[in-house]
């Protein structure tokens, strides 16, 4: 793993030196340059060119979700190690003075911080399910949502492709089992085509989410055996350990049960989503085509509008 860690560190340092990423003093937390954001916008435009003709409803959420919504999703049961919550000062004047004294002494100034009703979104789609559920029973054709937001997962790393705060662009399908599976099959084809148009090497493999603990191992095994999750992998810092840049997920009726989402027939809805990790794709493009996007292949620049 030392060789892999060295490769992560070297690429991160290159990105910082080129000014594409901006250090914020914490592993996995970065600012982005204008050039980096131009590439991200190009990735989103390429995604939209493929997905917009389907006529999805557009939803854009802040990086926070209600703490209750996070609990309802089941995420705390499966991946508590990745969860982030928002805390805020709740003390009085005396507590404030004590906090300032601790800061002066380099002590822990968070003692008076208490959890709020806001948690950080671990995935872009988590805002969609309660929104659709609140409308009541869906129409016969179900629902299709285009969602994009910053997400948070607490896994600090020197790997620039494993950020703690990152963006996901997703399409989420809600409906019958048949509708959800057909959607995932379609987007697995589309995902291959989009990443191929970026002239990036890739492979698609069965995958599992980073579930926690002993129960998590069983969940991961089950997820793989039932082929509920596929990932499109692109080598960024290592050919032997490629990075998941796109995911294709079928949740069965997990979220339908959690939020009591019903189809037009009154059955529990099934859901599926495709998620593009736009920062990871951008990092792959810079790695394979160089740090100056004006020198990238003309065909790639045309797809990205650069």
Q: pLDDT tens digits, residue range 115-149?
A: 999 999 999 999 999 999 999 999 999 999 999 99
CA distance 198 to 288: 10
Backbone angles phi, psi at 148, to 5 degrees: -150, 125
CA distance 20 to 35: 7
The closest of 114, 118, 115 to 95, measured between CA atoms, is: 114
CA distance 135 to 180: 19
Side-chain-side CA neighbours of 141 within 13 Å: the count stands at 5
299 by Cβ neighbours in 10 Å (0-12 / 13-18 / 19+) ranks as: exposed
Give yes or no for a contact between 205 and 233, defined as CB atoms under 8 angstroms apart.
yes
What does the pLDDT read at residue 215?
Answer: 61
What does the pLDDT read at residue 221?
Answer: 65
CA distance 285 to 54: 27
The CATH number given to 2-65+122-304 is 3.30.930.10
Give yes or no for a contact between 139 and 114, defined as CB atoms under 8 angstroms apart.
no
What does the pLDDT read at residue 110?
Answer: 87
What does the pLDDT read at residue 214?
Answer: 64
What does the pLDDT read at residue 207?
Answer: 77
Give yes or no for a contact between 243 and 202, defined as CB atoms under 8 angstroms apart.
no
User: What letter would DSSP give residue 269?
Assistant: P
Give yes or no for a contact between 12 and 158, defined as CB atoms under 8 angstroms apart.
yes
Give yes or no for a contact between 201 and 303, defined as CB atoms under 8 angstroms apart.
no
Q: pLDDT tens digits, residue range 10-57?
A: 999 999 999 999 999 999 999 999 999 999 999 999 999 999 999 999
Q: Which residues of 203-240 are buried (b: 16+ CB within 10 A; e: fewer)?
A: eeeebbbebbeeebeebbeebeeeebbbbbbbbbbeee
User: What's the pTM?
Assistant: 0.94
What does the pLDDT read at residue 287?
Answer: 98
CA distance 181 to 157: 34
CA distance 279 to 39: 9
The closest of 244, 62, 252 to 148, measured between CA atoms, is: 62
CA distance 244 to 285: 14
Residues in the chain where the model's pLDDT stays below 50: none
What does the pLDDT read at residue 13?
Answer: 97
């Amino acid at each position: 793993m030392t060789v892999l860690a060295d490769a992560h560190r070297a690429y991160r340092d290159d990105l910082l030196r080129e000014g594409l990423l901006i250090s914020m003093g914490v592993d996995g937390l970065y600012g982005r340059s204008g050039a980096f954001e131009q590439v991200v916008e190009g990735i989103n435009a390429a995604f939209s060119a493929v997905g917009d003709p389907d006529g999805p409803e557009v939803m854009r959420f802040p990086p926070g979700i209600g703490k209750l919504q996070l609990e309802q999703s089941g995420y705390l049961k499966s991946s508590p190690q990745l969860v982030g919550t928002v805390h805020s000062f709740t003390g009085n004047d005396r507590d404030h003075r004590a906090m300032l004294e601790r800061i002066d002494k380099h002590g822990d100034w968070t003692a008076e911080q208490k959890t709020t009703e806001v948690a950080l979104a671990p995935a872009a789609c988590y805002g969609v399910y309660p929104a659709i559920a609140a409308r009541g029973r869906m129409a016969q054709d179900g629902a299709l949502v285009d969602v994009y937001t910053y997400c948070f997962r607490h896994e600090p790393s020197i790997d620039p492709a494993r950020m703690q705060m990152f963006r996901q662009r997703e399409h989420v399908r809600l409906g019958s089992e048949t509708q959800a599976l057909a959607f995932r099959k379609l987007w697995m084809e589309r995902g291959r085509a989009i990443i191929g148009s970026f002239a990036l090497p890739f492979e698609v493999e069965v995958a599992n989410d980073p579930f926690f603990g002993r129960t998590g191992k069983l969940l991961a095994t089950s997820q793989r055996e039932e082929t509920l999750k596929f990932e499109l992998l692109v080598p960024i810092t290592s050919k032997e350990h490629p990075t998941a840049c796109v995911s294709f997920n079928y949740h069965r009726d997990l979220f339908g049960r959690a939020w009591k989402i019903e189809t037009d027939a009154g059955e529990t809805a099934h859901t599926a989503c495709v998620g593009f990790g736009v920062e990871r794709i951008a990092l792959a493009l810079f790695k394979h085509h160089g740090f100056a996007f004006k020198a990238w292949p003309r065909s790639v620049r045309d797809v990205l509008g650069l």
